[in-house]
Every structure is written in structure tokens, then in C-alpha cells.
Structure 1
Amino acid sequence: MTVSTEAAHQEVERASLDKHCYLFGQKITHSLSPFLHQVIYDHLNLRWAQLRLDSSDLRLFLDLIQHPSCYGASVTMPNKVAILPYLDEMTDECRDVGACNTVYFKERDGQRILCGTNTDVIGIRDSFLYNVKDPASTYHDRPALVIGGGGAARSAIYALRKWMKVKEIYLVNRDASEVEAVIRDCTSRGYGNGLLHVATVEQAMEAEGPGAIVACIPDLAPRTSGEVLARRITEILLDKKHKGAMLEMCYNPTPFTALGMLAERKGWTVILGTEALIWQGLEQDTYWTGNTIDALPAEKVKAAIAEIVAHRAQAKL
């Protein structure tokens, strides 16, 4: 189906809604985002919905969101960076991470302006906040570890550095050039202090054990030499005496990943990636509905997401 045809279908769907937003990205067929937000809107008795826009066509997107009943969008790959030049205003998180996952509107001088934020960092922070009973003994004043070298890794570094009271942050990844780019970007934006590329087994053996880990890689078995080395380094760090908490960001097609199960066997508390999805989504709706987090149905959302994840897992058996 072409984008223009899909957009036309969405115009028909919008007719029964009071307000709507978009999920703007590609490969979004199985995204849980529209389902998550619908749970919230149904709880609040709002005739709102999030509509999928499977596209990278920014001009189309910018035209569609001008509709008076549109209140914003979730922005996913490959559009998180591409949208930045079109924003009239950005939050600190959006500007510092260099990526926007949430578009919302504000009024300025009688005009509706396009604003962007990054709730991915909130999803990471709150995944630890709501799932770790004693942060002080778990990860405060300890090293942290980020596995991966993409946009999610940058968000993890930002959250760890800004809110989670960690010391140095170890970076483990299959590609050294990606790590160099992450360090360069984070440093240029003011939160790159204490980033350390753990690139060898020897470094991992000598390193102090981390307290918080954020894994930002797909759930795929290591194949290349770089991937095998990165997994070996990760295992050495997981084997350290101190056992903290690991957020496994991957949740598609299942949040129960091989790396998560490995960490759990080694004594770590594993936080499923659906937690990050839930908390970033709830944060999005604080912008869109004007409600505080406390006024949104967090427990209902968690139960609904757990049910649909279990259903999908059962369907694959």
C-alpha cells in the first residue's frame, strides 16, 4: 500500500475520532504504541487514537499534522533525527540526545508551534526507578554499562549521567567506530564525561563491576568476531561479584531475550524492555493530555501490555 493511499484511509478513520495523533516511522506494523495509548485514552474516556503512518516522507507528515484535531505524534526510526530541523522548540532531552521521539504542540503569540521532546530517556530512567527497590546499593556511585552504539545507547548514557548517580559508563559494542561516534556526540552535547570503551577481555577483567546495565542491541546470536568479543566482554562484566539491575531494551518480537536470560542466570535483576516502552509512552501522554503521570493508568497499561506480549509469545509456539 502506498503512503498516499494509507493516508487517505486514515482520513476516513479520523472521522469518528475527536482527536488523533500519529505513529510516524517505518517497520511499525507490530508496534505496541497505538495499543498502549488506546488503553490510556479508553481509561480517560477520550475518543482519541494513534494512527500508524508507515513512512519516511517528512513533507507528508508535516502536512498531516496540521489537521486541527491532530495533537502530535510518536516518531520512530528513521525519522527521529530527520524531524529536528522542522521543530520550532525542543526540550533539553531532545536537544541533548539529538533525537526526537515525541511531537506535540504549544501556543506562541497566537500561533500553534511544533515542539519536540525525547521520552526515551524518561522510559530508561523510570524503568530503573520503578523496578529497583534500593538504587543506592544497586547502582549509585558505581560504574554503569551500555551495550550498543546507536540512538538508544545515546539515550541510555543521557539517562544514566543525568539522573542515576553513576560513576564512569562502560561502552561495549561490536564496532569501535560506532563507540567513537557515541563518545564524540555525547561529549559535544555536554554529557560525555567518564565514557570508557571496554574493548578487550583484559580491560573487562580489570574493571570494577557495574551496577546498572542498559542493553541496546537486537536479540541475535553473536556471529561476527566483533559480536563474539562484545558478548564475551559483557559476560565477564556480568560475572563480577556485585549483581545489579539490567534493562534489556529489546522487546520485539519478545522481551525475553537470550542476553536477559543469561544475566538472570548470573544473578542480575532483569528489567524487561516493555517497561521502557510503557514509561516513555506514559510520559508522552503527559504532553498530549495535560495529565500528570499519577493521573494516568500505569498499572492498567502494564497489565494490558503483559497480556498482549504473552498472547504474541503463545501464538509463536
Structure 2
Amino acid sequence: MPDQKRIYFIGSNISHAITNTIHNDVAATIGYTNWRLEAIDIPDVTHDDTLIKGKLHGPKFAGAVITMPHKLAIIRYLDDVDEIVSLVGACNNIYPVIAGTESKLIGTNTDWIGIRECLLRLDRESRPNNAINDEETKSGFIVGAGGASRAAIYALTRHLSVARIYIVNRDIDEVQTLVNDIKTRYQSRRTPIPEIIHLQTPEQARNINHFPYYGIGTVPDYPPTTDEEITARDTLHSLLARGNSEGGRRAVFLDMCYKPRQTRNLVAAKMYGWVTGEGVDVVTYQLKEQWRLWAGEEEMARRARQIADLL
């Protein structure tokens, strides 16, 4: 069919992902029966320029979802990015915009929307009687320092008033790159820069003065094998173990990974009494914004209720 459209799902080890089915369900629900999602499972987008360029600039292109580990590398293929990507430094969504006789590829980030909405829901579950004061919610922590961590920082700092963020990550250089990148991007846009602290040992996690109320996992669920990975796991467990020992409060932890749905980090957080949220929830909270960008503002205003019924 000449009017067939494709939404490309670009990532690594993605055969399990809910994205593979949910966007086809949305397309069918809103009457876009000629739109289909096509998964592109590739370990490194920069190793196959022909594949990526051909798909994104092909006549069937309607939009794309970008997942781990390509949220940084994919930016090189875009014609432009919006203000969010400029600030966050990571892209998980691409949509076409017609400029004259050409179609340009624009990158944005909707991960932060899913993160924000999930944490707000968990927040309501954690403190139904508003028992936690504002000072306690000014710190958070993130597991990982890749592309997804940047969206997590944006959600925490711009929408949840978190000013101090602890990072648990095996690679010191990766964390320093993250810190430098955030500082440069936030400074250039006159945005308040969060305090970012790398927790490198379990002892450091046990001895922090400002305990985080929000926690976000942004890494795949792989068992630790190297010394650095084992230390990072133990550091996280020290952080989680201390989380609900002060004042009887229940902090919240969201894992963006969804294979398996109950990741090792989620299981650990539950064991220590945290209120937890799954990665599939992050995906579903993003749906309406993604389809608004792909199908257009006016169309999605008419179809918004139908998509909401899927959530």
C-alpha cells in the first residue's frame, strides 16, 4: 500500500519490549490501520549508517521510538532537536516535520513525562496523609549514568523540586561525563544546576547526610560480574537498606527497565520496604504525547479519549 506508515522502534535486545505491541494497539484503536511498528534490534546505531538513515528518511517513516542504549548516539542522524533534548542531551522520540518540500527529522524526549507521572503516583501511595515534608523530597538518586539518566535528572530537578542527586554507577568516567554535560547544558540555558554526587562505595551510601526520597533505575537488568558492578550493586543495597529506617517513612523507587518486569533492583527495593513502580508504567504514560507528535495536534485532540482508554 502506498500510504503505509511505519513507526520504528530502535534499540538493543528489544524483542521482549511492550513497545512492540502497544503502539500497534494504539494505531488500531484510533483508526490508523495502515500504521505499523517495526523493531530494529541493533547493538550500535553508528555501525550501520545505511540502515538507520534509510529507515528514518524512507517514504514510510511516521515516527520512531529510541531506547537503550541509543538515546545519545541517535542525535547525530537528526535535522534538529527541541528544547528538551537540548537541555537533557538524550533523545527517545523522533517525529517528522514538513519544511517546504522537505521532511525534517526532529528529536524530543518523552521519558521524563513517564518518569514524572510514575513518581507522582508513587508519591501519593507513599504518603497518603502528606506525612513527609518538602525538605525530605529535595534529594533523589539514580542508578546509571547513560541517556535515560539525563531524562531522570530533568524530571527530578524541573518537575519535582529535587536539588541533590546521588548517582550509583560502576564507571567513574561515565559519571563525570554526565556531570560535565549537565553543567554545560543547564548553564547555557540559565537553568539551576543540581548537585550531583557519585556514590562509589557502600560506606559512602551509608554515611550520606541527606537521604533521597526518590530513586530511579535506568540500567538493564544484568547480573553483576565485574568487581565494579558488584560494588555498584552493594552500594545501591546500602542506599535501599537505609531508606525506610528513618521516621517510618516510605520512599519511592521506579525502575525504567521492564525485562523482567520485576527486576533485581525492584525486588531489592521491595525487600527494604520502598514503594515501587515498574518500567512498563513509564511507557504507557508517554503514549499520548508520542502519538500527538506523530499524528498531529488536531488529530490527537479528537482521538485523545480513545488513547486514554488504553492506559
Q: Give the equivalent residue in structure 2 for 1:269.
A: 275
Q: 1:89/1:218 Cα in 2 relative to 1: closer, same or farther (>3 Å)?
A: closer
Q: Any gaps of 5 or more consecutive residues in structure 2? A: 187-191
**TM-score by structure 2 length?**
0.81
d(CA) in 1 for partners of 2:100 and 2:236?
Answer: 52
User: 1:219–1:61: structure 2 CA closer, same or farther, 3 Å change rule?
Assistant: closer
Residue identity over aligned pairs, in percent, reads 32
Distance 1:61 1:22 in 2: 10
Indicate how the Cα distance of structure 1 residues 225 and 121 shifts in structure 2: closer, same or farther if over 3 A, else same: same
1:166 to 158, 162, 179: 162
**1:28 partner letter:** I
| Residue 94 (str. 1) matches residue 110 (str. 2) | no
User: What is the distance in 2 between the residues matched to 1:160 and 1:139?
Assistant: 16
Alignment of 1:23-62 (within 5 A): 23-47=9-33, 48-55=35-42, 56=45, 57-62=48-53
What pairs up with 1:158-197 in 2 under 5 angstroms?
Answer: 158-190=154-186, 192-197=193-198
Is the CA contact (8 Å cut-off) linking 2:168 and 2:198 kept in structure 1? yes
1:1-317 matches, cutoff 5 A: 15=1, 18-47=4-33, 48-55=35-42, 56=45, 57-77=48-68, 79-133=70-124, 140=134, 141-190=137-186, 192-207=193-208, 208-238=210-240, 239-240=242-243, 241=246, 242-252=249-259, 254-290=260-296, 291=300, 294-301=304-311
Q: What secondary structure, in the 3-state scheme, does the structure 2 residue paired with 1:132 have?
A: helix
Output the aligned Cα RMSD. Answer: 2.7
SS of structure 1 residue aligned to 2:176: helix
User: Structure 1 16/149 Cα, relative in aligned 2: closer, same or farther at 3 Å?
Assistant: same
Other-structure match for 1:4: none
Number of aligned residues: 286
Seen in structure 2, the aligned counterparts of structure 1 residues 121 and 233 have a Cα distance that, compared at 3 Å, is: same
Q: Which runs of 5+ in 1 are unaligned?
A: 1-14, 302-317
Query: What is the letter of the counterpart of residue 224 of structure 2?
Result: P
Q: Deviations over 1:76-105 (max 9, x none)?
A: 345433332332221122222222221111
Distance 2:201 2:13 in 1: 35
Asked if the contact 2:72–2:147 (Cα under 8 Å) also holds between the matched residues in 1, the reply is no
Partner of 2:73: helix, strand, or coil?
coil
C-alpha distance in structure 1 between counterparts of 2:212 and 2:133, whole Å = 7
- Give TM-score, length-normalised by structure 1: 0.79
